[in-house]
């Protein structure tokens, strides 16, 4: 998963301090494992929270029990493969179909009719499935449906996630047994809107430079204002297609290219090569696995963050372009005497020559 490169990048002149919250307390493999957990945790949280959101009692509920479903249920029940859906109210009472070129929250990949399901689990008079059962149905039917919709080119680590929408409880009572499988932007809380069909979208999970990703349990979450506690700040985006053609490049080749590019981008972003070390930050980047590459993803973020004394990241407040607090403390720049040079982290870039005192 994400790699860490020493705050002493090849273009920096000084090492980072090994003080409070320094990444020097973590081995590269330990922090990398923490990031694996973070990535999986973020995806799981997104899938569970959004799957629950669509089938709870306040989701698409019609407020006229005993009558025909209201317009929002008819909009849902008539949505077909390739349609895009959106809403603005928390209870989704204004659900509507829109052109996929407009902002939307969900793109339908398939319609699943539970009337064809074996047995009597979903027959007339049965209860609306609970959130756990809906999650099982999503995994059973929607994951393969989305892969088929995208011709096998869905990036499971990319920008989008698979989800399912079900009839409202009122629609279920009126006999609607159809599910809508589809995709939406992956998030740990409310999914943001997207524009354009996923069939033509770049699925790379990237952010605009200057974006800060929030922090929960020492791991990155959704974008937040950089004045709020966050785990990392995006210093730039690298397009691997500028250097690699053909099949998936090896992780080692990606690392070499990303290290150089992320170092260059972070220097441009911060304005000077020694800013990362002075702020005791670390440069991180991920790599694209073969599944992501074959799905068409080519871009990756360059992260600025701070390894915590424990697994994961320290909490940062403020943008790295200005004054920051790390776990509530202002960073102390390392001395520039050249007399103390901590050993680099495993896999880190070699240290540049240190200036000698006169």
Q: Is the pLDDT of residue 108 over 70?
A: yes
Q: Quick one: pLDDT at residue 353?
A: 55
| Of 11-20, 25-34, 101-110, 117-126, highest mean pLDDT | 101-110
Q: Is the pLDDT of residue 70 over 80?
A: no
Count of CB atoms within 10 A of residue 164's CB? Answer: 27
Q: Quick one: pLDDT at residue 35?
A: 42
Q: How confident is the model at residue 154 (pLDDT cuts 50, 70, 90)?
A: very high
Nearest to 250 by CA among 203, 291, 288: 288
**Angle at the Cα of 32 (from 26 to 34), degrees rounded to 5?**
80
- State the Cα torsion 26-28-34-37 to the nearest 10°: -170
Q: Is the pLDDT of residue 45 over 50?
A: no
* φ, ψ dihedrals at 164, nearest 5°: -135, 145
Residue 86 contacts residue 193 (beta carbons within 8 Å): yes
Nearest to 76 by CA among 176, 209, 156, 144: 176
Q: Quick one: pLDDT at residue 44?
A: 42
Cα distance between residue 83 and residue 2, in whole Å: 35
Q: What is the pTM of this model?
A: 0.75
Q: Quick one: pLDDT at residue 2?
A: 60
Cα distance between residue 238 and residue 302, in whole Å: 7
Residue 318 contacts residue 327 (beta carbons within 8 Å): no
**263-309, pLDDT tens digit by residue?**
999 999 999 999 999 999 999 999 999 999 999 999 999 999 999 87
Q: What does DSSP say about strands 230-239 and 299-305: parallel, antiparallel, or unpaired?
A: antiparallel
Q: Is the pLDDT of residue 107 over 70?
A: yes
Residue 230 contacts residue 315 (beta carbons within 8 Å): yes
CA distances to 37, 165, 187 from 49, in Å:
18, 13, 9
DSSP state of 343: P
């Amino acid at each position: 998963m994400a790699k860490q490169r020493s705050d002493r990048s090849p273009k920096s002149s000084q090492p980072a301090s090994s003080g409070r919250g320094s990444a020097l307390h973590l081995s590269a493999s330990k922090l990398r494992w923490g990031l694996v957990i973070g990535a999986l945790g973020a995806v799981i949280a997104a899938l569970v929270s959004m799957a629950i959101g669509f089938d709870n009692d306040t989701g698409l509920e019609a407020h006229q029990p005993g009558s025909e479903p209201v317009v929002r249920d008819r909009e849902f029940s008539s949505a077909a493969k390739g349609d895009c859906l959106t809403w603005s109210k928390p209870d989704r009472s204004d659900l509507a179909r829109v052109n996929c070129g407009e902002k939307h929250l969900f793109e339908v990949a398939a319609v699943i009719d539970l009337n064809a399901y074996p047995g009597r689990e979903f027959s007339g008079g049965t209860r609306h499935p609970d959130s756990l059962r809906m999650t099982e149905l999503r995994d059973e039917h929607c994951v393969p449906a989305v892969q088929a919709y995208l011709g096998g080119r869905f990036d499971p680590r990319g920008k989008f996630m698979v989800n399912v929408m079900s009839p409202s409880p009122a629609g279920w009572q009126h006999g609607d047994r159809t599910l809508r499988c589809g995709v939406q932007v992956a998030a740990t809380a409310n999914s943001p809107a997207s524009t354009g069909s996923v069939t033509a979208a770049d699925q790379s999970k990237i952010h605009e430079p200057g974006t800060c990703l929030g922090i929960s349990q020492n791991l990155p979450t959704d974008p937040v204002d950089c004045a709020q506690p966050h785990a990392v700040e995006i210093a730039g985006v690298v397009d691997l297609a500028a250097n690699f053609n053909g099949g998936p490049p090896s992780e080692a080749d990606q690392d070499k290219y990303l290290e150089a590019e992320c170092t260059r981008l972070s220097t441009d972003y911060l304005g000077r090569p020694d800013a990362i070390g002075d702020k005791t930050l670390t440069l991180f980047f991920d790599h694209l696995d073969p599944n992501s590459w074959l799905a068409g993803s080519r871009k990756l973020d360059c992260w600025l963050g701070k390894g915590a004394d424990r697994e994961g990241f320290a909490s940062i407040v403020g943008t790295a372009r200005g004054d920051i607090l790390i776990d509530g403390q202002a960073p102390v720049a390392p001395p520039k005497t050249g007399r103390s040079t901590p050993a680099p982290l495993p896999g880190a870039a070699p240290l540049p020559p240190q200036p000698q005192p006169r």
